[in-house]
Structure 1
C-alpha cells in the first residue's frame, strides 16, 4: 500500500506573496527577548531568568491555574496575552517592579510593540491590540494575567532565599503594596502571599518596614 504525500501547508498563491526572509527576520526579532534579563533568579542556579523564559512560565502558569480553578476565561486569549506580555521589553528592557521609572516603562514598550507590529514578516495582525489589552484592559483574562505575573517573581524569590529582595533592599511594605490588588481579584492566592510575606520577613529576606 502506497502512502500519499502530505498536502502543502499553504496555497501557492499565498506563498508567492510572502518573502520568507521577512518571516525569518521577524522570528529573529522575537528571539531578542531571550537577551533581556530580569531581576529574578532561576531556582537551583546562580543566573537570572530572561524575559522569554518568564513569558513561557507566565503562559503555562495562567493555563494551569485557569484549568485547576475552573475559571470562566477564554484560554486562547489568555495564552496569547501571556506570550506578548513582555515583547515590548525587546526595545525597552526590563523594568524592576520597585524601580522609580516603572510608571514610564510602558511608553518605550508600546513603541517597541508598534515596531514589531509593522514588521513585514509578522503574521500576527492584532499583535498590538493583544498587547494593549493585557496592558490596560480589565477583562477576566487580563486580571488573571496580572495576578500570575506578580505571583511568579514572588515565588522565585521565596525559593532563592530572597536573593533579588536582598540585593535591592526591598521592604516588606513594598511587596505587600505591590500584591495588594490580588486580595480582590484572587483572595486565595493573596492569602498565600500574605502568609509567605511574613515568612520571608522572619527569614530576613525582606526588610521589616
Structure 2
C-alpha cells in the first residue's frame, strides 16, 4: 500500500504540474505575440465569481505539496502567494516540484491509514490518508488545474487536450498516434538479422572455398 499511495500522488502531481508549466509558457509566449499585457491574462476569470488564473495555479500547487507533505508526515513549505507574473508562477511550480521530488517513497509508508486533519476557515475536516488523497486532494487539484487551463482556452490561447494530458507516463504510441498527439515519434527498431538455414550455410561455405 505505501507504494500505491506514493504512485497515486507524487508522480501524478509531478506530471500534471509539468504540463501546467508548459501550458503557461505557451500562454505567455502567445500573449506577447498578440500584444496582450500579461496581467490581463493572469487576472482573467472563467466566471465572475471564480478566482483568477493566478490563484488557480497557486491553489493547484498548494494541494500538490500539501498532500505529499501530509501523507509523508512532513511540514509543507509555505509560499507567500505574491506571484504577479508568468515567470513567478513558473518559479512556484519549480519549487513545488523540487519539494515533491525530495520526498522518498518510503516516507509514504502507513499513509493510507494516517489521520489527516485540515483546519480550514469554515471548519475542521478529518480523513484517513487514503480518503484524503482520493476524495479530497485529487478532485481539488484537478479542479484548479482544469480551471487554469479553461481560463486560457476561453481567452483564445492555442492550448488543447494534447497539452493538458502531455506525454502520459508509461503510454506506448505508434508513429500515427505520436503525430496525432504531437509527441516524439517512436524510434524504429532494427529488424533482427535472419538466420541462415543449414543448407544456405553449406552453400555459403562452398562458395567461399571455391
Q: TM-score range by the shorter chain?
A: under 0.3
Q: TM-score, normalised by structure 1?
A: 0.28
**Larger RCO, structures 1/2 (Cα 8 Å, 6+ apart):** 2
